[in-house]
């Protein structure tokens, strides 16, 4: 029920634009206090979701009495355990039109100017690179006439930075922008297939972004039934094993999944029953022995899923480090979870096709 309510609140940004019902497309309007003239203005709020990313709240304030206006973006989703940093090289006019979503926790850096804008000085906002640079110029220009007479050295330094930023806007010089967000999330693509004719349904998670230089092995000791409700992101390259059951799934089995530990193990259980031919069929004595052994295994797996047979270990081994297991103690360490970072073997790189990738002198004739 909670998920359904959240879905109604946060619609994909494309769905909002294409909405036929204007009432559904209209942002919320709230009367709020104006800090400039101390009268009441109007704050408009739009709750939306950026596909493959996070839920956000876009807010815009305007006061009809004094003309004060501003806008900001706030994030409504959960924080990731690790941050992320994005760096973009601005070479052309088109690059200045790139859209930028800056959260309230992100720091913006322009390395060429050694200019850093802390997260505390700028609220979250949805803008472009050009809009970001323009707002920096406007902020730096504030009080410049006063500095010219009181702090001439500071005035000259800031004026040089403003001139450089103006050159960037006119595309006279190349520069780069880095957005460093300690609350960043890794990108994943969640795909779902539904057939209207036969009712077949399936879903899969594909990881996005670059290839991590190392592999990751996550081992969790499941002691209580609450551990089975932990979120788990299993990539398509991740292997899974439960030593207590002698269960081992090779990389590629089940594809990518974003679910809970219970949901993933339940899917393993269902897949084994559906795909193993001799489970529910009679036959010779050899088959009967195999069937009995396999049924005992399924019973043990079912008891682990229901929490009857605990503790037990679950191990995720991902050579591309694209898998994740929820840590309820974050940002502190989980006493029952062990994370091992390792260097991939030549054989693992060969299976993944990484040994054939040309990283240097790309495009040159051998």
% of the chain exceeding 70 in pLDDT: 72
Q: How many residues does the chain have?
A: 366
In this prediction, residue 4 has a pLDDT band, given cuts at 50, 70 and 90, of very low
In this prediction, residue 283 has a pLDDT band, given cuts at 50, 70 and 90, of low
What the block records as the tokens of 182 is: 């300690």
285 burial level (CB within 10 Å; 0-12, 13-18, 19+) = exposed
Residue 40 has pLDDT above 70, yes or no: yes
- Please tell me the predicted confidence (pLDDT) of residue 323: 86
What the block records as the tokens of 278 is: 């001799």
Mean pLDDT of 216-243: 90
Clarify whether residues 169 and 61 are in a common domain.
no
- According to DSSP, the residues that pair with 46 across neighbouring strands are 58
- Please tell me the predicted confidence (pLDDT) of residue 355: 80
Clarify whether residues 207 and 337 are in a common domain.
yes
- Please tell me the predicted confidence (pLDDT) of residue 2: 43
* Rg, C-alpha atoms of the chain: 27
Geometric angle at alpha carbon 105, from 100 and 106, rounded to 5°? 40
- What pTM value is reported for the model? 0.47
Q: Is residue 366 part of a domain?
A: no
Question: Rounded CA gap, 324 and 208, in Å?
Answer: 14
Q: Is residue 289 part of a domain?
A: no
Which residues, at least 6 apart from 129, have a Cβ–Cβ distance to it below 8 Å?
88, 90, 95, 96, 97, 98, 100, 177
Clarify whether residues 116 and 157 are in a common domain.
yes
In this prediction, residue 275 has a pLDDT band, given cuts at 50, 70 and 90, of confident
More confident residue, 91 or 181: 91
Clarify whether residues 83 and 207 are in a common domain.
no
Q: Is residue 290 part of a domain?
A: no
Question: Rounded CA gap, 347 and 252, in Å?
Answer: 16
Instruction: Say which CATH number the domain at 27 has.
Output: 2.20.25.420
- Please tell me the predicted confidence (pLDDT) of residue 3: 47
Question: Rounded CA gap, 209 and 212, in Å?
Answer: 9
Question: Rounded CA gap, 215 and 361, in Å?
Answer: 26
- The neighbour count for residue 25, using CB atoms within 10 Å, is 14
More confident residue, 212 or 110: 110
Mean pLDDT of 215-238: 90
Clarify whether residues 88 and 214 are in a common domain.
no
Residue 296 has pLDDT above 80, yes or no: yes
Task: Name the domain boundary from 77, 93, 121.
Answer: 77
Clarify whether residues 206 and 345 are in a common domain.
yes
Instruction: Work out the mean pLDDT of the chain and round it to a whole number.
Output: 79
Q: pLDDT (tens digit, 9 = 90+) per residue, 339-354?
A: 999 999 888 888 878 8
- Please tell me the predicted confidence (pLDDT) of residue 198: 81
Q: Is residue 316 part of a domain?
A: yes
Clarify whether residues 249 and 314 are in a common domain.
yes
- The answer for 199, left when phi > 0, alpha when psi is -120 to 50, beta otherwise, is left
Q: Is residue 346 part of a domain?
A: yes
Task: Name the domain boundary from 185, 217, 237.
Answer: 185
Residue 5 has pLDDT above 70, yes or no: no
Q: Which residues of 107-116 are buried (b: 16+ CB within 10 A; e: fewer)?
A: bbbbeeeeee
Residue 16 has pLDDT above 70, yes or no: no
Clarify whether residues 227 and 178 are in a common domain.
no
Mean pLDDT of 311-331: 87
The answer to whether the CB of 215 falls within 8 A of the CB of 341 is yes
Q: pLDDT (tens digit, 9 = 90+) per residue, 59-80?
A: 888 899 998 887 776 655 555 5
The answer to whether the CB of 135 falls within 8 A of the CB of 127 is yes
More confident residue, 321 or 204: 321
Clarify whether residues 165 and 179 are in a common domain.
yes
Task: Name the domain boundary from 46, 77, 108.
Answer: 77
Clarify whether residues 348 and 239 are in a common domain.
yes
Geometric angle at alpha carbon 237, from 231 and 239, rounded to 5°? 70
Clarify whether residues 233 and 222 are in a common domain.
yes
Of the ranges 64-78, 132-146, 182-196, 269-283, the best mean pLDDT one: 132-146
Q: Residue 64 sits in which domain range?
A: 1-77
Of the ranges 103-107, 225-229, 232-236, 292-296, the best mean pLDDT one: 225-229
Residue 123 has pLDDT above 80, yes or no: no
Clarify whether residues 126 and 31 are in a common domain.
no
Q: Is residue 282 part of a domain?
A: no
Instruction: Say which CATH number the domain at 131 has.
Output: 2.60.120.1040
Residue recorded with tokens 């693509």: 189
Q: Please, which contacts does 334-337 make with residues 24 or more away whose CB atoms are closer than 8 Å?
A: 334/220, 336/220, 336/221, 336/222, 336/223, 336/227, 337/218, 337/219, 337/220, 337/221
Domain count for the chain, please give it.
3
Q: Is residue 292 part of a domain?
A: no
Q: Is residue 65 part of a domain?
A: yes
């Amino acid at each position: 029920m909670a998920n359904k309510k959240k879905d109604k609140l946060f619609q994909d940004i494309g769905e909002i634009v294409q909405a036929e019902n204007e009432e559904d497309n209209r942002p919320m309007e709230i009367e709020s206090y104006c800090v400039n003239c101390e009268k009441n203005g109007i704050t408009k709020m739009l709750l939306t979701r950026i596909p493959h990313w996070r839920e956000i709240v876009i807010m815009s304030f305007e006061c009809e009495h004094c003309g004060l206006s501003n806008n900001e973006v706030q994030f409504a989703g959960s924080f990731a355990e690790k941050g992320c940093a994005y760096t973009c090289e601005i070479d052309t006019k088109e690059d200045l039109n790139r859209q930028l979503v800056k959260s309230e926790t992100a720091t913006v850096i322009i390395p060429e100017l050694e200019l850093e804008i802390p997260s505390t000085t700028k609220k979250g906002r949805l803008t472009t690179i050009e809009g970001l640079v323009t707002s920096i110029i406007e902020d730096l220009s504030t009080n410049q006439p006063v500095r010219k007479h009181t702090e001439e050295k500071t005035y000259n330094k800031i004026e040089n930075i403003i001139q450089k930023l103006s050159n960037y806007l006119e595309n006279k010089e190349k520069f780069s922008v880095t957005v460093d967000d300690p609350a960043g999330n890794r990108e994943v693509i969640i795909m779902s297939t539904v057939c209207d004719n036969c009712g077949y349904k399936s879903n899969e998670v594909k990881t996005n972004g670059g290839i991590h230089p190392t592999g990751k092995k996550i081992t969790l000791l499941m002691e209580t039934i609450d551990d089975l409700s932990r979120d788990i992101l299993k990539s398509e390259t991740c292997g899974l094993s439960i030593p207590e059951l002698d269960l081992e799934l090779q990389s590629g089995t089940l594809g990518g999944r974003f679910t809970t530990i219970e949901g993933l193990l339940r899917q393993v259980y269902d897949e084994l029953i559906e795909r193993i031919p001799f489970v529910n069929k009679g036959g010779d004595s050899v088959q009967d022995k195999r069937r009995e052994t396999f049924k005992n295994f399924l019973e043990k797996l079912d008891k682990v899923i229901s929490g009857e047979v605990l503790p037990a270990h679950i191990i995720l081994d991902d050579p591309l480090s694209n898998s994740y297991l929820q840590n309820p103690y974050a940002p502190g360490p989980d006493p029952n979870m062990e994370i091992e970072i390792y260097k991939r073997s030549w054989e693992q790189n060969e299976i993944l096709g990484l040994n054939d990738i040309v990283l240097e002198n790309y495009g040159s004739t051998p």
